[in-house]
Amino acid sequence: MARIKPQALLNQSKKKKGPSRISISTIVVCNLVVAVVVLSLVTTYRHWSQRSRNTLETQSQSFEDTNAVSQQKNYDRPGYADISTSKGLITVELFKDASPEAVDKFLDLCKKDHFKGMPFQRVIKNYLVQAGHSSSSIPVEEWTAKGKLRGRLDTSPKHEAFMLGTPKNKGNKNKDFEILITTAPIPDLNDQLIVFGRVLKGEDVVQEIEEVDTDEHFQPKSQIGIISILLKREL
C-alpha cells in the first residue's frame, strides 16, 4: 500500500477545516430582502401616520364648520327689537349669547304676532311693568314683599333697571310667554325671572307706563299695551 506524504495530509486537513465561501449572488439577494422589508415598514408607517393626520384634520375641520355654522346662525338672528306701545317706542337689545333659548322663543313669537295687542296687565311703580295675556305668574303678595326687600340685596348687572325678561315658569308655553321690563334693580327675582335683553332707548316710555294709575291689584285702570314689535339685526 502506498503511503500518503505528510505534506499531502496537511493540505487535505486545511481544505476540510477552512470555512466555505458565500457567493456574491447570495449577498445581493439578502441585501435586497432587507431593503424590501425596511421599505415596507417605512411605507406602512407613513400610511398610518398620514391617516392619523387626516383623521385629526377632518375632526378639526368638522368642529370649525360646526362652530362657523353656529356663529353664522347667531349672526343671522335679529339682535334688536323695536317695541311699539300705546305710550311710545321702546328699543331693546336681545342677549343672544347669554339667553339663547329665551331669545329664540321671543323671536319666534314675534314672527307670529304673539305680542300684537298684548296689554300691560301689571304695573308696580319703582319695580316693573308686565305685559301678558294671562294672569300674573307670581302672586301680588310676592311682588310687594320682594319690593320691600329690594334695597337690602346685592345687585347684578343683568338685574338692573330697564332689563327685559320673562318669568321662568311661563317661558315654556308660547301662549303664556310674558314680557317684563324692570324699573329698578330686582336681584331677588333670580330664581323666577329670565333676563334676555335690556332697554337701549325709550326708558322715558317705560317710566311713563310705570306712572299710570292702577287698582289695588296693580292693574292699570286705563287700557295700555303693545301695538307691535319690529325685529332688527342692527340699530
For every residue of 63-113, DSSP letters joined together read HHHHHHHHHHHHHHS--EEEEEETTEEEEEEE-TTTSHHHHHHHHHHHHTT
Higher pLDDT, 30 or 72: 30
Confidence bin at 171 (pLDDT 50/70/90): very low
CA dihedral for 120, 205, 93, 235, sign (positive or negative): positive
Higher pLDDT, 63 or 123: 123
Higher pLDDT, 61 or 50: 50
Higher pLDDT, 2 or 203: 203
Share of the chain above pLDDT 70, in %: 67
Average pLDDT score over residue span 124-149: 67
User: What pLDDT does 75 receive?
Assistant: 55
Q: Would you say 189 and 167 are in contact if contact means Cβ atoms under 8 Å apart?
A: no
User: What pLDDT does 38 receive?
Assistant: 87
Whether the full predicted model's pTM is greater than 0.85, yes or no, is: no
In the predicted structure, residue 209 carries a pLDDT above the cut 80:
yes
Calpha distance 183→147 (Å, rounded): 11
In the predicted structure, residue 153 carries a pLDDT above the cut 50:
no
